[in-house]
Amino acid sequence: MTTDADRSSFFIALVVVDVFVGLADSISLPYIVLFLVDQAGLSPLSLSAVLTARALSSIVFSMAFGSWIDKRTSVAPLLLALAGSAVGYALFGLTTNFAALLLIAALPVAIGGAAFSQSIALAKRNFNQASLHTVNRAVGVLRASFSLAWAIGPAIGAILISAAGFRGAFFGSAASGAIALATLSFVQRRVALADPGHAHPAKPVNGGPAIALAFAALALFHTAMFLGSIPLPIVITTSLGGVESDVGITMSLCAALEIVVMGALIWKPLGRGERAAIVIGFAAFIVYFVALTLVRSVGGVFWAQIPRAIGIGFVTFLGISFLHSLMPHRAGAAAALFSNSGQLGSVLAALSVGGLAKAFGYASVFVVCAVLSAAGLALVCVTPAESD
């Protein structure tokens, strides 16, 4: 029989796992483009191929793992994802060969990309007998722990790169993934399957159109998020006269502010105001990208992280619950769908940023991101609410 102590211990393990998963990504990912271009010498086309392969493969693995956990709740998919993260980042530190990098990105690193969505799905299963309020708080804590890692990871990555080059950052990410894997491996616990007979009555699923609209809105949000983040380091270090450390400060500042936003949501849940908060998040993103087109100093970019953090905090904190409300009792599928909206966004960003920047300049990318955010906002507004 599963006790409250068992559930608490397992949840604490998931929090630790998400912190180290976040560190694994945040130590290396802010600098992955610099590594692929400056050290591996990839052309723009090859760079796009590696980034796209990772994102597309992550979508496939996230969908497969989400289906797995919905059919039979297990920690095995998360263990595989953590192993993929540890192995993938370690291999990145051992080669600059394009074919090898493409294979690594499409397999172990892509498998590792499913880790966060799996932790969310397991948390929902872990508290399947608890109130919706408790479940949402648990998911919020996991999301905030991930942001905490992103608040400090880029700085750690910069230190490792200065001390040991890109290989140092990749090995640091691999170590973080290995720690997460070891933590979960030591938690000997079977996660109980959801039992609708003891949990809350099932809500009818709204159907494909509502889910499709919600997914499209989140995909547009993530496309804007990733598309805007690609040229930002270039703009900071060129037209705004900043240095490389300003890039790390910008990312860490936003992540720290996200924690504040998510902490407020955890402390005082919104209840039925979640849809309005998501709308506010999209609106804040529009403000952020408009601000980026107007700033003339690095300091202005720092201030612009406030609306950016509000947007990311609200939408990513509440987005999974938004999808789950349309897919009752399919926690794995909802978490995977949210993760895939991010992966699809990263694919679209990788495929479009080069052409946009070449044709219209880097500043034009921020205008496009504002338009994408506005389109996502419109889709959220027309998505039917979940049934009571």
Give tens-digit pLDDT for 271-281.
677 889 999 99
Pick the CATH number of 203-388 from 3.20.20.30, 1.20.1250.20, 1.10.287.3510, 1.20.1260.10: 1.20.1250.20
What pLDDT is stored for residue 334 in this prediction?
A: 79
What pLDDT is stored for residue 222 in this prediction?
A: 96
Cβ atoms 269, 133 nearer than 8 A:
yes
What pLDDT is stored for residue 2 in this prediction?
A: 61
Residue 172 CA to residue 29 CA, distance in Å, equals 12
What pLDDT is stored for residue 202 in this prediction?
A: 44
What pLDDT is stored for residue 347 in this prediction?
A: 84
Collect the ranges in the chain with pLDDT lower than 50: 190-206, 387-388
Cβ atoms 15, 142 nearer than 8 A:
yes
Degrees, nearest 5: CA angle 143-124-276: 60
Specify the amino acid at residue 80: L
Q: Which has the closest alpha carbon to 317: 352, 273, 366, 358?
A: 273
Domain coordinates in residue numbering, the chain: 1-190, 203-388
CA count, 13 A, side-chain hemisphere, 64? 15
Cβ atoms 86, 205 nearer than 8 A:
no
Cβ atoms 214, 205 nearer than 8 A:
no
Question: b/e map of 154-167 (b: 16 or more CB within 10 Å)?
Answer: bbbbbebbeeeebb
Q: For domain 1-190, give the CATH superfamily.
A: MFS general substrate transporter like domains (1.20.1250.20)
CATH fold match for the domains 1-190 and 203-388: yes
* pTM of the entire predicted model: 0.80
Q: What is the largest CA-CA distance in the chain?
A: 62
Residue 115 CA to residue 336 CA, distance in Å, equals 10
Residue 341 CA to residue 218 CA, distance in Å, equals 6
Our measurement of the distance from residue 238's CA atom to the centroid of its chain's CA atoms, rounded to an integer in Å, reads 27
